[in-house]
Amino acid sequence: MLLVIAVALLLLALGLLLIRRPIHTQMPEGEIIYEDISEKRYASKVMTSERYGLRGKPDYLIMTDDGVVPVELKSTTYPPLRGGVHKSHMVQILAYCAIVGESLGERIPYGLVIYRDEVPRRVFPTPEKMAWMEEMAEAVRAGRQSEEVHRDHGHVKRCLNCGVREGCTEALNVGEGWQRRRKGRRSGSRSYRRL
């Protein structure tokens, strides 16, 4: 009986390993030259772009035949459909393209955003996209210096996980209905409103 249980547990563990294969298998071919994740094997440091006034640390940098590819891993369980990239993640990977290109003096053919579905999504740093990223960076800088900044979304999860939620006068008030759904139970209607 113990042997049957041990074999069943082994098969279950093997099945989980196959289902949750490492995200690293979705990286482009090349050499990892930088990583900034919890299991650090490579040196990581904050990189800067004087031109755009940005700094940051991508999750990975991969040296490919085409140049250096910044890679950002995202844990969201709801990636955009048809291989799209959320706007905030697009701004982030474009910023990494600028930062890495300037810091290393290397060609950046594209950046990659990889969500939990493990589908690599390429973001090309075209002049139009880089101009848009620069506008977004300026808006963030202006917002940080402003006396009054307004919430720009109605997403409960985003609001709940916000770093400035405690002092926000526009935070969504999440009622019991959302709390029950969040715990996996069914409930009635949505019950959140502005505080």
DSSP string, 95-111: HHHHHHHHHH------E
| Average confidence (pLDDT) over 10-17 | 45
Which residue, among 59, 92, 76, has the nearest Cα to 155 in the 3D structure?
76
Which residue, among 120, 130, 116, has the nearest Cα to 70 in the 3D structure?
120
Q: For residue 62, give every residue at least 6 positions away whose Cβ sits within 8 Å of its Cβ, in sequence order, or none.
A: 27, 28, 30, 31, 32, 33, 68, 69, 71
DSSP element (H, E) containing 17: helix 2-19
Predicted confidence (pLDDT) at residue 40 exceeds the cutoff of 70: no
| Average confidence (pLDDT) over 138-163 | 76
pLDDT score at 119: 81
Structure tokens at 142: 């202006």
Q: Write the burial class of residue 183 (CB in 10 Å: 0-12 exposed, 13-18 middle, 19+ buried).
A: exposed
Structure tokens at 124: 């090309």
Structure tokens at 52: 């755009």
Q: What percentage of the chain carries pLDDT values higher than 90?
A: 37
Predicted confidence (pLDDT) at residue 102 exceeds the cutoff of 60: yes
pLDDT score at 41: 62
pLDDT score at 179: 47
Q: What distance in Å separates the CA atoms of residue 187 and residue 134, rounded to the nearest whole number?
A: 43
pLDDT score at 126: 97
Q: Write the burial class of residue 63 (CB in 10 Å: 0-12 exposed, 13-18 middle, 19+ buried).
A: middle
Strand (E) positions, 82-146? 111-114, 120-123
Most confident of 40-49, 129-138, 154-163: 129-138
Most confident of 90-94, 145-149, 184-188, 191-195: 90-94
Predicted confidence (pLDDT) at residue 20 exceeds the cutoff of 50: no
Structure tokens at 183: 């715990």
What is the pTM (predicted TM-score) of this model?
Answer: 0.67
pLDDT score at 161: 74
| pLDDT band with cut points at 50, 70 and 90 for residue 98 | very high
CA atoms within 13 A on the CB side of 4: 1
Which of 156 and 113 is assigned the larger pLDDT?
Answer: 113
pLDDT score at 156: 76
